[in-house]
Chains A and B, each alone.
Chain A
Amino acid sequence: EAQVTQNPRYLITVTGKKLTVTCSQNMNHEYMSWYRQDPGLGLRQIYYSMNVEVTDKGDVPEGYKVSRKEKRNFPLILESPSPNQTSLYFCASSPIPREYRAQYFGPGTRLLVL
């Protein structure tokens, strides 16, 4: 089954404790992206990647890191989480941008930073 998986689905952590949210897709997509969703703000793009070893900042990259060492995986790293990073996070993937019609979204990760 074609899918994007994220782990963990729910996470409660404390300020400053490094964490990683994993994202994996099995569709051989070149493009992957991370978003955060906050009430009243819609989805905002954090980082995206056009292919292996190619990453770019979205609109809200501060406080986040990503890496794309393999095509299927695109982890989101919070080196020192803060309460303002409490949010719902989505990973998404799609074929190369000029041909895609839609992104496939993962199920989301709810993060609470105390």
Chain B
Amino acid sequence: AQKITQTQPGMFVQEKEAVTLDCTYDTSDPSYGLFWYKQPSSGEMIFLIYQGSYDQQNATEGRYSLNFQKARKSANLVISASQLGDSAMYFCAMREGDRDDKIIFGKGTRLHILP
């Protein structure tokens, strides 16, 4: 079974609209961390936001926020007021536990922002 599921292979969104990219995860470990990365067409991986399993509040970084719903095992990325430069591939990732530091990535969502 996939540990990180991103159900949207691709999305088209009008500029200035808000965007929600879905991510669900599967773990039985109470301690874990969730990440979102952006990969523009140039190829580099850019860290966007992090949420720890014990964090009480949803993480926010500028226009990015993480809608963390622990009971549903959901960690959706919300981008407010989208811009053309937000067009990229977005990856959700998870680190499980405190001992095993494997990191598992989802397959990604390609976001296209339309002018």
Contact = CB atoms under 8 A, between A and B. Distances in A.
Interface stretch (B14-22, B66-74, B78-86, B102-110): B102-110
A107 B42 CA distance: 9
B50 interface: yes
Interface residues of A, number: 26
A45 B44 contact: no
Interface in A15-57: 31, 33, 35, 40-45, 48, 50, 56
A43 B95 contact: no
A62 to B, nearest CB: 15
Interface of A is mostly: strand
Given A42-B106, A59-B104, A105 B44 contact: yes
Interface string A93-114: 0000110011111011000000
Contact of A43 (B44, B91, B98): B91
A90 interface: yes
B47 A103 contact: yes
Contacts, number: 53
Nearest to B98: A98
Contacts of B11: none
B43 A108 contact: yes
Contacts of B45: 43, 90, 92, 105, 108
B102 A45 contact: yes
Interface of A: 31, 33, 35, 40-45, 48, 50, 56, 58-59, 88, 90, 92, 97-98, 101-105, 107-108
29 contacts: A40-B107, A42-B107, A42-B108, A43-B45, A43-B91, A43-B93, A43-B105, A45-B102, A48-B101, A48-B102, A48-B103, A56-B101, A56-B102, A88-B43, A92-B45, A97-B98, A97-B101, A98-B98, A101-B47, A101-B50, A102-B35, A102-B50, A103-B47, A104-B47, A105-B45, A107-B43, A107-B44, A108-B43, A108-B45
